Each structure stands twice: as C-alpha cells, then as structure tokens.
Structure 1
Amino acid sequence: MILAEELKKRGHTVWLGVHKRYQDIVKATGIDTVEIGGDLEYFLSTTQEGIELRRNPSILKMGLVKRTFQPMIEEWFNGILSGIKDADLIVLTVASIILGLSCIEKFPNTKAIGIYTFPVTRTAHFSPPSLGGTSDSLFNWTNLLKWKIVDFTMSNIYNDKLNELRVTKDLPPMKLNYDRMTRSLFRKPMVSATIYSKYLLPRPSDWHENDHMVGPIPEEGNQNFEPPTPLLDFLTKWKNEKIIYVGLGSMMGTMFEADEKIEFIRKILLALDRNNCKAVISLVGFENKDISKLSTTDNILYLTHGIPHCWLFLYMSATIHHGGAGTTHASLRYGLPTLVLSFGADQPFNGDRIFINRLGPRSIPIRQTNVKNLANAIRDVMIDNYNIIFIKPVLKRLAN
C-alpha cells in the first residue's frame, strides 16, 4: 500500500492484486485493484482439506498440502494473468513469485522486479526464512541444503498444477525453480529488493549484484489520525507505567477457530496478570460475541479497530506479536523490546533474528505457548533492559 501510493504520486498508473475482502480498504486510498481469488484464510476455514491442515500443519503431509493448495493456485494464476495483461511492469511479492513468473512469459514486453519482505534468494550464509525455523545453521552447506529442500517442496506443490494451467494458455511446461525461472525469462537474475534491515540480517556476500537489501518501508505518521477516546484515557491513566502491546495479526484467523482464539487470548491475559502488566491488546477481526467472552480489568484495553503503529508504538514499552516482517521492523524502529509468538512461514526466522541480536527473548511457536512460558517471556521482555543495552544502538541505525 505504501509503495503503491508513492508510485502513484510519481505519476504511475498503479493497481494492486488483492483478495476480495481487501478491495474496499485499498480503493479507499485511491488505488485501483485487480481481484485475486484463492483467499488462504477462507480455504483453511471452509474446506475439509484446509480445516485438517490448519489443525495439524505439517509440510510432511504433502498430499494434503497439494489438495488444499491446488484450487487456490488456479485462482491465483488466473487473477495474476488478468492483472498483468495491460502492465508495463509487474512487482512480484513473496507470495506471487512463482505464479507471476509463470504468467509473465505470455506478455514478453512486460518487465518484472521482485520486492520481498524476507530473503528468497539462495545463500550459504543463512537458512531460508520460508522454512519456518531458526535463521542460522552450524555449517554453510547445511544452509544450502535447506534452500534445496524449499525449492523441492515448492516445486512439488506447484509444478503439476501450474504446468497444467500453462498448457491452457499455450505456454510450454516449465521447471518451477526461482533461480532457473528468472534466468530463463530474463537471461540473468531478476532485479530484486528485499525490504529487510541489514542490521537484523547482513546482506549475504554470495548474492548477485541484482539482489538488493534496502531496509524496511516505514509507515509514516498520519497527521489527521484521531485516536479513540478510550485509548487516550487508558494511556493517560497509565502514563507513568510500562505498557505492552499485543497484536497477532490476521494469522489468528488463519490458524485458529473462534474458540481457540479466545482461549489463546485468555492465556496471554493470565501471563500478563502474573507480571502485573498493563497492556493494549488488538482484537481486530474478532467478532463482538467472542470479545464479550473475555474478562475486563483496568490494566487491559482491547482494540477493535486498527491503530497505526507509527502512532501507538510511541506510547508502548514493549511488544508481543506474530513476527511478521512489517510489525517486526515497526516495533524495533520505535525501540521496543519484542517477543515473537510465531505461527509459521518467515515468522520463526524473524523471531530468531530478534533473539540473536539481543532485541528480545527467544520466540515461542504459537502451538507451544502456555501460561508459564508466556509469563516468563513477558517478564524477560519487560525487565531485562533490552531497550537500554541493545535496542538503542540498532534503533539509531534503523531510524537512519
């Protein structure tokens, strides 16, 4: 959204490929959209395969993963194909790389670049973020082996279905591998920009010169933003106390059913209470009937509408979140020690980078959380003075 708005200011015609439920949000900013079907949250909550995969997520269940993803792949392919037909340039994201590269051959005059929220280019210096584990291995060859595992897995999920779809568009079969696809299409590595801070993860020396690490795209302050009165009252009441922000994003809806979401928030409430913490908890996306099941105290404020991080984080002392790249960089930009409760994808990687750089405690996988380990981690993030010793030097670099 930030990038699209900036490109539009510079005179470009811009449209975003988004799921239907996001179209009104995007259009409200004046950006045109192309609808992309295959909403992952919808498929995981409504199809038999998706529900089973959500309850027991494992890449080892390859048959189940393929059955879940193949209907979505077709919708993604057709949506991107319709969006790219009039474009001079397509900006590929992490989620659309393979699909976009599969489509672009149909339009040889269309150029492409990649803008990624985490690294997708193979390197010996760290493990692939998408594998969902720690960021470092003991040996470089182990890192390279993990990148091969990711390539094999992605090819296994996408290859048959995408090549079947390519045939319907008079395109030849293609080996679905990021490096091979970009070199085949462009005769050299595609220009890419990874919007990740080099102070969290140095740019690897074995990347091609076309692969850039440019740092995060910051959310700028909205001078017209007016915070709700209950939030202002809460911040005023506890202005001399440390307040922690808790926000787990859209992943809650993707991975948990309604009752599970409420039960998880209750765990967090108990852990916060054990530390006598004041907290602002985002419940954006929760239904009112579910929110009413949660206890209320003077120490806790529930947010039911989105508040810009660039405003809210100025008043926080620490954060707990899912470890998405955007929220990770936002919390560190404002000098906040951070605890990551990771669901999957790149989130464990981001949590590991925070821990390695001494910017917060070790992350906890969401399915392994309990009141005890949450309470211990919250105590660490609030008491261990990460802010003074470690975050301040990094903050100065991130702010620059």
Structure 2
Amino acid sequence: MRILIITAGSRGDVAPFTGLGRRLMDAGHQVAVAAHPSFAALVGGCGLDHRPVPGDPRELIRAWSRAASREEARALTRAYADGLADGVAEAVAGGSDLLLTASGPAPLSLTAGEAFGIPVVGTYLVPAIATREFPLPNARSTDGLGPEGNLAAGRDVLRRAEGVFAGAVTRLRAHLGLPAGASSAPVDVRPVFHGFSPLVVPRPEDWPSWAEVAGYWWPARPCGWHPPAELVDFLQAGPPPVFIGFGSMAAGQGERLSELVAAAVERAGVRAVVQAGWAGLSGRGDDVLAIGDVPHDWLFPRTAAVVHHAGAGTTAAGLRAGVPALPVPVMADQPFWASRLYRLGVAPRPLPFQEQH
C-alpha cells in the first residue's frame, strides 16, 4: 500500500512520523511524508520519501513575534495556510492509497482525500477531540472549569483551529472542483489515533468509539547515525550533565538565553549539554557543551535531568528515559504537557518561559 503522511509545523510535528513511517515501511508499505522543505533531510535520512509542502515554520514564528497587531498575525497565518493547502493537494496528487494526517493540516488533508477518493485517517500528536475530562491544549482557560466547562473550552479550541484553515479549505475545494460549503473540520476525520501514551493521557471515557490512544510513535534515528565524538568525550569526562533545550521555540533569543543558561548552570554547580535549537543557544564555560540535533532517545538516558519547553515529543523522550524534568512551556500545547508532567509527579510546577528573565 502507498501511504502518505501529511504534517506541518516545527520539528516536533515531523519527527514522530519518521518512527511511524519506518514501522509502516518495515511492514511492507511504501511510505512518503509530506512536510516543509526544511525537513527533507530529517525525513530522507530515516529512509522515507519526502514530498515538500510550502512554508517555513521558523520564519512564521519570527514573523508572529514581530507582528504589529493581531490582524497582521492573522494575515501571516492565512498566507501560511494558503501555501500549505496548495502543497497538500500537490503531494496527494503524487499518488497514494491512504492518507495519514496530523491534526493541524487535517482540514486540508480531508479536502484533498475527498477530491482524489483516498481515505483519510487521523494520526494526532495531541488530544484533538473535545472531552469533559480536561480542556484541550490551547484552551483559553484551564483551571477549575468543571466537566461542561472543559467540553466548551475544547470545542472553542476546535472552532478556532477550523477558522485558521477555513479560507484555505474554501479555495482548495474550488481549485479541486469540489462543491462549496461542505465541512472539512478536523473533527470530521475518522478514525483518529492519538500518538501518546495512555499512561500520560488516559483515553477519555466520553470520546467516540472511532477515537483511540495508540501510544507514542518514537522518532526514528537517521540511518547510520553515530554520536559526535565531542559529545561522547564530554559525557565520559564527568558526572551526568543536565540537558537544556527549547527545541523550535525562542527563535532569535539565543544570546539572552545563553547568558541565562550559563548563569543557572554555574549557580547550580552542574554540567550541562545545551541543544542549540531554533533559539541558537551556545555553550559558555568549561562545564557546558553546545550541540546540534541529537536523538533524545540516545542522549536523555545519559543525563541527570532534562530542562525543556515541554513539546509533546521532548516530554515523551524524558519520560521514556526515566529522568527528572523541569518543563519551561512557551506556547501552543506545551503548557498542557507541562501540566501533565507535574500531575504525574515526575516534574516540579512548570516555569512558564515568559517569566524567565
């Protein structure tokens, strides 16, 4: 079977699908991943085909931070969605028998699947079906809402997500010759498999029967990967270090954050491995080593603790390694995962990124 996985966003929105894709490929399927051009090496390095979709998520995040108004930020998002729609349609037109879609581009994937007569299955990395048990990630309010409040907050999240792509879906339907007005909301994708552990987020009892929690899809290691010699030497030169990294967050804030990290490491009296990420963190001091992308499943078990932005994948890797975590959430679903870590008793209260100076 030819399977196309459609995703969009930062590295954390792509890496888990390399693991899912490799397992499907090992089962005998042909697998391609539609993702932004900046992830061609990540996808291809894991032995999967890459189909590009327009967009630069790093530049989009930077543009959001520079936007002079909420309307300007919305215009940037609409332009991103329009480009993504064209890319999804082209990727699907390249041929496939089954579409697996992340929750973000789900409205576009559903539209393209309808046009080309291809079934669509949801493969979501975050909870994306409203429930009475908790507010969905990105809810405007989360504390003490009660069952009905949780449900309402979740539905609001889904409405806002649908609104981001509404214009792009309308234009895509017209481009593909589909009748206007039909819904292409994420909730219309069925079935849906959620790629996180039921021990971290148990399946809500009020979810429909077509929604499941499947467990984490661990990112695949690039073919032939070996740890950098400098990192191996650093790990062997002293006690396990603390990992510090913010993934795809805080683009352009490397100088300020590097100074903050250096001061914190010195004050705590620990060694640290600092992952540059999109912020561009640097290592300062004899007890700090700066690194690029290193598979977390290899690195985290060799650390004493992990300080991170609480992205879904990094959160999962820390749990899998069994090391303490200090979550510093920045945006999107990160406060949700940070709160989960605290409630599980494996991390202290989250330290919101905006409060760190």
Q: Which residue of 2 aligns with 1:244?
A: 242
Q: Taking structure 1 as reference, are residues 224 and 133 closer, same or farther at Cα in structure 2, changes over 3 Å only?
A: farther
Provide the secondary structure at the position in 1 that maps to 2:51: strand
Which 4+ runs in 1 deviate beyond 4 A?
A: 55-58, 219-225, 284-287
Q: Quick check: 1:133–1:348 contact (8 Å CA) kept in 2?
A: no
Residue among 281, 286, 307 paired with 1:298: 286
| Matched positions, count | 338
Q: Deviation of residue 81 (structure 1)?
A: 0.9
Aligned to 1:151: 158
Summarize the alignment of residues 1-400 of structure 1 with structure 2, pairs less than 5 Å apart.
1-45=18-62, 50=63, 53-55=64-66, 61=70, 63-85=71-93, 86-108=95-117, 110-131=118-139, 134=142, 137-171=144-178, 172-179=180-187, 181-182=188-189, 190-219=190-219, 225-239=225-239, 242-253=240-251, 257=252, 260-284=253-277, 291=282, 296-303=284-291, 305-370=292-357
Indicate if the aligned counterparts of 1:65 and 1:157 stay in contact, CA closer than 8 A: no
- Residue type at the aligned position of 1:3: L
| Alpha-carbon distance between aligned partners in 1 of 2:111 and 2:230, rounded to the nearest angstrom | 49
3-state SS in 2 of match to 1:197: coil
Relative distance call for 1:250 and 1:132 in structure 2 (3 A) is farther
Letter in 2 for 1:163: T
Offset of residue 233 of structure 1: 2.4
- The answer on whether the counterparts of 1:227 and 1:307 sit within 8 Å (CA) in structure 2 is yes
In the alignment, which residue of structure 1 is the partner of 2:9?
none
Structure 2 contact 110–184 (Cα < 8 Å) conserved? no
Which has the higher Rg, Structure 1 or Structure 2? Answer: 1
Question: Deviations 1:155-214 (Å, cap 9, x if unpaired)?
Answer: 3332234213322322222345333x34xxxxxxx1111111122221100011211112
RMSD: 2.4
CA distance in 2, matches of 1:264, 1:133: 28
Given that 1:127 and 1:137 are in contact with CA atoms closer than 8 Å, whether structure 2 keeps it comes out as no
Secondary structure of the 2:105 match is helix
- Partners of 2:305 and 2:299 in 1: how far apart? 11
Residues 296 and 317, structure 2, Cα contact 8 Å, conserved in 1: yes
Indicate conservation of the 8 Å contact 1:118/1:194, yes or no. Answer: yes
Check 1:163–1:220 CA distance in 2 against 1; reply closer, same or farther (3 A cut): closer
- CA, structure 1 residues 104+343, in 2 after alignment: closer, same or farther (shift >3 Å)? same
Name the SS of the counterpart of 2:173 in structure 1.
helix
SS in 1 for 2:218: coil
TM score, norm. by length of structure 1? 0.78
CA offset digits 1:347-394 (Å, max 9, x no partner): 110000001111111112222113xxxxxxxxxxxxxxxxxxxxxxxx
Structure 2 unaligned runs (5+)?
1-17
Q: Distance in 2 between matches of 1:278 and 1:24?
A: 31
User: Could you tell me which amino acid in structure 2 is paired with residue 218 of structure 1?
Assistant: W
CA distance in 2, matches of 1:57, 1:141: 36
Specify the SS of the correspondent of 2:196: coil
Change (3 A) 1:13 1:176: closer
Q: Which runs of 5+ in 1 are unaligned?
A: 183-189, 371-400
Q: Which moved more, 1:361-370 or 1:202-211?
A: 361-370
Separation in 2 of the partners of 1:224 and 1:24?
13
Corresponding position of 2:8: none
Matched letter for residue 261 of structure 1 = G
Q: Which whole-Å deviations, capped at 9, do the CAs of 1:95-124 have from their partners, x for residues lacking one?
A: 22122112221022x111111111101111
* SS in structure 2 at match of 1:129: coil
Q: Distance in 2 between matches of 1:271 and 1:25?
A: 32
3-state DSSP of counterpart to 1:14: strand
Q: As a proportion of its length, which structure holds more helix?
A: 1
CA contact (8 A) 2:194 2:212 kept: yes
**Offset of residue 338 of structure 1:** 0.8
1:310 Cα deviation after fit: 1.9
Residue 12 (structure 2) aligns with: none
Aligned residue for 1:105, secondary structure, equals helix
Distance 1:346 1:284, change over 3 A: closer
Cα distance in 2 for partners of 1:252, 1:95 equals 21
| TM-score, scaled relative to structure 2 | 0.87
Deviation at 1:261, TM superposition (A): 2.0
Q: CA deviation at 1:301?
A: 1.3
CA distance in 2, matches of 1:342, 1:132: 15
